[in-house]
Amino acid sequence: MGEEKMLAVKIVSHEGAGRLEVCEVARPAARADRVRVRVMAAGLNRADLLQRRGRYPAPPGAPADIPGLEFAGEVERLGEDARAWALGARVFGITAGGAQAEYVVAPESHLAAVPDGLSFEEAAAVPEVFVTAHDALFTQGGLRTGERVLIHAVGSGVGTAAAQLARAAGAGAVYGTARTPEKIVRAREFGMDEGVVVGDDPRAFAEAVRGWSGGAGVGIVLDLVGASYLDANLDVLAPRGRLLLVGTLGGASAALDFRRVMGKRLRVTGTVLRARSTEEKAAAVRRFGAEVVPLLARRSVRPVVDSAYGLSEADAAYARLESNATFGKVVLNLSPAGLSGKMAFS
């Protein structure tokens, strides 16, 4: 019997912005507690853009040249020790790489059940952003009922997920920042109370938060932008506030004034999902399954799909993500319709 094959998005060059091709490659095997999923849709993330450029290599054990950190599909094969899932089950999950392919293999503990009523495209827009947002706000940040939250890049996938989760948890107020007025307007639909457009001067959001909160500040800042917002973040945090560092679009290095951190007794926490151990990811997915999936099932929170592309349109999907014009998630459709190109793009 010949080797089983599949189609996958493959990074064939790191020159410039990097180059992608849809290639035929070997299907991954499901062994031990691993589960092979027939991928129906896969979400795109900024980590994929960096990996394409050669600036964010996959960790050991993950495919080096097939990007993709999240997926939705159907269980197609079980490893000999896998017990949690039945063949044909609708699942979504996270992986360290390789999701932008017809098949992906993941530990059974890194999967959760897709709620009824959620399409595969919608489901693929969920795992990375909702697990990241939930873990940052609650596990790392300890968000409490009644606390105010500031979310930078509120129109991003993680931003829209965080706003919804904070609202569902009873946050006192959810504030947001974005680069365009349109994103601020749209974010109100997803739980944001007040928002401000930030251009080149981060003091704009510091002044806005001071006004909205009556000078009290916020308990948590979820920062997907990075270094350029650091000083203003320290200003808006209330005593014992928590700064969660999730992204570095605005730079990865800035001077930290220890006296301001110490004086307010602030906590600064960096968090990343991809580099965590199998056990840590399993714990995050378990909490996601227990606390977020029921909200998705009730439609108390919902995925935000910016646009969907077929597999042959991977270059266009990456260009859309890189444009910074997105609101929510860009998704690759790998269903039979997406593979044939016979689908309507958003």
Domain containing residue 27: CATH number: 3.90.180.10
Cα 176 to the chain's mean position, in Å? Answer: 17
Domain interval for residue 17: 5-126+276-340
Q: In terms of domains, do 108 and 25 share one?
A: yes
Q: Where are the alpha helices (DSSP H) in 54-152?
A: 120-124, 127-134
Same domain flag for 102 and 155: no
Q: Are strands 148-151 and 173-178 parallel, antiparallel or unpaired?
A: parallel
| Among 242, 270, 298, residue at a domain's last position | 270
Low-confidence residues in the chain, pLDDT < 70 = 1, 340-346
pLDDT for 343 equals 45
**pLDDT at residue 3 in the model:** 84
Domain identity same for 45 and 145: no
Q: Do both 144 and 261 map to the same domain? A: yes
Asked whether residue 345 is assigned to any structural domain, the reply reads: no
The reported pLDDT for the residue numbered 346 is 37
Candidates 236, 269, 233, 232; CA nearest to 136 is: 269
Query: What are the CB-based long-range contacts (under 8 Å, 24+) for 81-87?
Result: 81/32, 81/33, 82/30, 82/32, 82/33, 82/34, 82/35, 82/108, 83/108, 84/35, 84/108, 84/109, 84/111, 85/35, 85/111
Q: So what's the pLDDT on residue 1?
A: 53
298 domain-assigned:
yes
CATH code where residue 244 lies? 3.40.50.720
Q: Are residues 261 and 288 in the same domain?
A: no
* pLDDT computed for residue 249 by the predictor: 87
d(CA 43, CA 98) in angstroms, rounded, equals 11
Asked whether residue 266 falls in the same domain as residue 142, the answer is yes
Residues 308, 321: one domain? yes
**Is 264 domain-assigned?**
yes
Q: CA of 99: how far to CAs of 63, 141, 151, in Å?
A: 9, 29, 28
Give dist(CA 158, CA 155) in Å, integer.
Answer: 8
Q: What is the value of pTM for the model shown?
A: 0.95
Q: Give, to the nearest 10 degrees, the angle between helix 127-134 and helix 157-168.
A: 50
Is residue 296 included in any domain, yes or no?
yes
Residue 40 contacts residue 75 (beta carbons within 8 Å): no
Residue 346 lies in a domain: no
How many residues in total does the chain contain? 346
Residue-level pLDDT at 307: 97
Q: Do 82 and 185 reside in the same domain of the chain? A: no
Domain count, the chain: 2
Question: Are 178 and 290 part of one and the same domain?
Answer: no
- Which one of 212, 247, 270 terminates a domain? 270
End-to-end CA distance of the chain: 41
Q: Are residues 140 and 258 in the same domain?
A: yes
Instruction: Please report the pLDDT score of residue 341 as a whole number.
Output: 59
Give the closest residue to 111 by CA, choosing from 161, 160, 76, 150. Answer: 76
Residues 13 and 106 in one domain: yes
> Which of 231, 250, 270 is a domain's end point?
270
> How far is it, in rounded angstroms, from Cα 231 to Cα 274?
27
Do 63 and 120 belong to one domain?
yes
